[in-house]
Amino acid sequence: MTEKIADNLVIRIKDLTKNFQMGDTVVHALKGISFDLEHGDYMSIMGTSGSGKSTLLNILGCLDIPSGGQYYLDGLAVATMNDGQLSAVRRKKIGFIFQSFNLLGQLSVLENISVPLFYQGWSEKDSRARSTQLAKLVGLGHRLSHRPTELSGGQCQRVAIARALANEPSLIFADEPTGNLDTATGWEIMQILDELASQGRSIILVTHERDVAEHAKRIIHLMDGLIDSDERK
Amino acid sequence: MLHLLYKIKRVGKLGAVSLIEHKLRSFLTALGIIFGVSSVIAMLAIGEGASYEAREQIRSMGSTNIIIRSRKPEDSGSSTQSQSRLSIYGLTYDDVMRIRTLYPDVNIHVPAREITARLRYLDVRLPGMVIGTVPWFLEKSSLRVHSGRFIDEYDVESISNAVVLTEETAHALFPLEYPLGKNIYLGDKAFHVVGVVSASSKKNNKEKKSGKDVYQVYVSISSAKQRFGETIVKQETGSFSMERVELHQLTLTAPTDEAVVSLANSVRSTLQYYHKEADFEITVPLELLRQAEQTKRIFNIVLGSIAAISLLVGGIGIMNIMLASVTERTREIGIRRALGATRADIILQFLTEALLLSLAGGVIGVGLGVSVPAVVSHFAGLTTIVKMDSLILAFTISVLIGMIFGIYPAFRAAALSPIEALRHE
């Protein structure tokens, strides 16, 4: 169902809660989160482990559904979608970048970038053209047929970024993108993300490091399942 | 629709790539199917060949025939004592007359009366079997005239001294000369060679008696009776006994297949009435044929069960490997799901792999299943018949196995929660 919300919003969440059953006890991971995100916003979510930031990320990324509350992504009411619908949303609207890259080891760089397009039903020809273009964008045009095992950490993360852009997503999620990289390489990756943000892409960055979070224009601090602070630069 | 085919093609390619990545594992998994399919085809081929041979042999005895043979009854009395006895047993001409009278529709053959005698030409001496018979024996048997002629009516009526040799006998007695027109000795009686016959199948010519080959010759039944007497003297260590057999064998031909069994029973009761001892045996080829087919049916069922079990095992093997593969690729599944793959996409991916495995196994199995019987035929000399039915059946089943045993692992893969899967090592 599409509710008419303001055109400039890519995310609206209201009173989002998430509970987990752990044996006999119920864990309240999120106790009521609300915020809006405009198109082109560059936001970080910070918090220690146990603050609920991973849980929030999973829900925002449509990998999980909330126990209560509302979530509108690009106007779509996502909170009550079933698995098939959520898969479609991920396919069309979301790009993921993970801490451990999560590339498919038996596929080449080009094929890795094409995976989202595969599930969208793109032809091989079109898929290859787009992936090549994206690979060049992240500076890996000369490594198209290499396997992830043959690449450095930084190069792997670039491939992941290219992949995240493949389906022209409304929103990019980066979960600790520099966590497995050294300082210098991490900085390079952040440069790329900053560049994407300046081009008008909506980006949510999840991290526990202050200096990484500072790259964004808005920082939300989570504590104990609730928003502790919401700063804008 | 086109989009669906396109998708299947791409997923198929994806599955194939994945299987080729792990060649050894894929091969070992497919082994179960390969063995199952090939053994079904090969065993059925061997069974079919054996059954065919058996049926042909029986058929050559004549499906409407009833064969009655004289048989020496069990000794009632001690055989260790040195005694001379005269045993009279077996079929008599009276029996023939009775059967002729009671069953006018039945065709009666009186093929032979057999006498053991030594064959001699000049210096060549051979162990021989003299068969006294009638002219129409030739058409009922599988023999053909090679040269000269067979026994004719005149021989029977005039009790002539004509003798006809089998090809083997002719070669053995006359290695360098032409046999026709020569005189040979059967025992101590002189006979005149009037013809040579040859067999159309290999099995009829040499009768093995106490392990040695015996050479056969044919004379008229009247000559046999007159020159060799009705009494045959046999010497066995410790005692000597005399046997008198009028007829060794009688072949009846029923008018139709349906009439055979009841006729056989009828004849059996008639003969039993007139014979005090069990000195004859009746063979009905048709009954044997039916038994042979029944045996074959049972054989096929047993084979089928064994094959089914082995295919089942093969399928379980596939399921096992697919489950292990799913576990191993949990992370991969999570990634794909995060990138937008639906549950159906994942199911399709893994199901395709299982299907490809069993298809490949099926194809290789068919290839093996067809070549093994050929090899067996060549080296062991057994007849094997590969039937198209078995190929199609085995192949179809292997595909089904792949689908059935691949479904569960595929569902398991799809059921994983993306978040959990991503967290996997």
pLDDT tens, B51-93?
Answer: 888 878 877 777 788 888 887 777 654 444 444 556 677 777 6
pLDDT tens, B266-315?
Answer: 888 888 888 888 888 888 888 888 888 888 888 888 877 887 788 788 88
Q: What is the mean pLDDT of chain A?
A: 90
Q: How far apart are CA A142 and CA A146, in angstroms?
A: 9
- Give the nearest chain B residue to A114 (CA atoms): B339
DSSP label at B204?
Answer: G
Distance from CA of B401 to the nearest CA of A (A): 28
Q: Alpha helix (H) ranges present in B109-152?
A: 137-140
Put simply, the answer to whether B419 touches A58 (Cβ < 8 Å) is yes
Put simply, the answer to whether B422 touches A102 (Cβ < 8 Å) is yes
Measured CB to CB, residues of chain A less than 8 Å from chain B are 58, 61, 63-64, 83-84, 87-88, 90-92, 94, 96, 98, 102-104, 106, 115-116, 118-121, 124, 163, 167
Query: What is the structure's pLDDT at A189?
Result: 94
Q: How far apart are CA B224 and CA B246, in angstroms?
A: 11
Q: How far apart are CA B412 and CA B425, in angstroms?
A: 18
- Chains A, B: CB pairs < 8 Å: 63
Q: How far apart are CA A53 and CA A41, in angstroms?
A: 18
Measured CB to CB, residues of chain B less than 8 Å from chain A are 3, 6-7, 10, 17-18, 21, 331-332, 334-345, 418-419, 422
Q: Enter the CATH code of domain A9-232.
A: 3.40.50.300
pLDDT bucket at B231, cuts 50 / 70 / 90: low
Q: How far apart are CA B386 and CA B365, in angstroms?
A: 14
Give every CB contact of residue A31 below 8 A, 6+ residues apart in sequence.
A17, A224, A225, A226
pLDDT tens, A55-91?
Answer: 899 999 999 889 999 999 988 889 888 889 999 999 9
Distance from CA of A233 to the nearest CA of B (A): 31
- Give the nearest chain B residue to A86 (CA atoms): B340
pLDDT of residue B317 exceeding 50: yes
Number of continuous H segments (helices) and E segments (strands) in chain B: 13, 14
ipTM: 0.92
Question: What are the sequence ranges of the domains in chain B?
Answer: 2-57+291-423, 72-278
Query: A104: which chain B residues are within 8 Å (Cβ-Cβ)?
Result: 332, 335-336
Q: How far apart are CA B301 and CA A105, in angstroms?
A: 48
pLDDT of residue B6 exceeding 80: no
Q: What is the pTM of this model?
A: 0.67
